[in-house]
């Protein structure tokens, strides 16, 4: 074992695309993977935040590009991956992170809204994973990391969010299914399940009258007594994207401060 353990976490010579990479958790993933040595494609439906994040990465000496993509549309997903291939010649890492959440009672939820949530949170994971894997298979190696949620494992309280919970549970089993199918192609597929995480979007939500009542109830169920920061999630994505996790596939890393222990 001549190789030092920390060397197995390095991503030098690798390329990565991160969907939902312009802000929040996705942006933190971009910086983590870039600092570990990867070239980064920042993918977001919002061109401004994608470009700003790519520029911030570039200022840190990380090679990065911005790609505007609606990941619920197959033609745009195909174009997204092609952009990476045209730029760097190959794709090593796909982090499928774009998603959304809505608090809504199932009895009153509009079906169109249900479909919108499932489309972004689950359908897009399939579209992105499949398109990424086509290119990874050509090189005989790849790492796919999908964003699930602790809500894939439990039903949150007090908010009602059946659509979100269902979509994230689907991500877990899709991840396992693809992991089993693509292991012979040397493509690993894993997921990360964040708990309540402090981001600008969550902060805005918690400023609403309903949100202000939620936070104390959330925290009393978190053994560590606080929300996650985006930095709390960075180590997991580097691990799952790196050679350090080459024997891990179909697994899920829960980072929730212990919420799922109860």
Active site residues: 149, 164, 168
Distance CA(64)–CA(67), nearest Å, equals 10
DSSP 143-173: EEEEE--GGGTS--SSS-BHHHHHHHHHHHH
Token reading at 220 = 């009393």
Q: In what order do the strands lie in the sheet with 252-255?
A: 64-68, 39-44, 15-19, 93-96, 142-147, 187-194, 252-255
Distance CA(14)–CA(241), nearest Å, equals 10
Distance of CA 219 to the CA centre of its chain: 23
Task: Name 253's bridge partners.
Answer: 192
């Amino acid at each position: 074992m001549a190789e030092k353990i920390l060397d197995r976490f390095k991503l030098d010579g690798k390329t990565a695309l991160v969907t939902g990479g312009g802000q929040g958790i996705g942006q933190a993933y971009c910086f983590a993977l870039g600092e570990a040595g990867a070239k980064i494609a920042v993918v977001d439906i919002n061109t401004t935040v994608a470009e700003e994040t790519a520029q911030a990465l570039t200022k840190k000496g990380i090679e990065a590009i911005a790609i505007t993509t609606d990941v619920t549309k197959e033609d745009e997903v195909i174009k997204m991956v092609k952009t990476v291939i045209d730029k760097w010649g190959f794709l090593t890492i796909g982090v499928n992170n774009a998603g959304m959440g809505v608090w809504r009672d199932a009895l009153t939820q509009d079906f169109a809204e249900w479909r919108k949530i499932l489309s972004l949170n689950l359908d897009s994971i399939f579209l992105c994973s499949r398109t990424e894997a086509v290119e990874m298979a050509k090189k005989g190696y790849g790492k796919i990391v999908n964003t699930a949620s602790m809500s894939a494992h439990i039903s949150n309280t007090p908010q009602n969010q059946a659509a979100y919970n269902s979509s994230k549970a689907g991500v877990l089993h899709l991840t396992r299914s693809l992991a089993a199918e693509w292991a012979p192609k040397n493509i690993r597929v894993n997921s990360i399940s964040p708990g309540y995480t402090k981001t600008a979007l969550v902060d805005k939500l918690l400023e609403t009258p309903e949100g202000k009542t939620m936070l104390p109830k959330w925290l009393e169920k978190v053994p560590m007594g606080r929300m996650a920061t985006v930095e709390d999630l960075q180590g997991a994505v580097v691990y799952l994207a790196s050679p350090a996790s080459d024997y891990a596939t179909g697994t899920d890393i829960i980072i929730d401060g212990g919420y799922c222990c109860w």
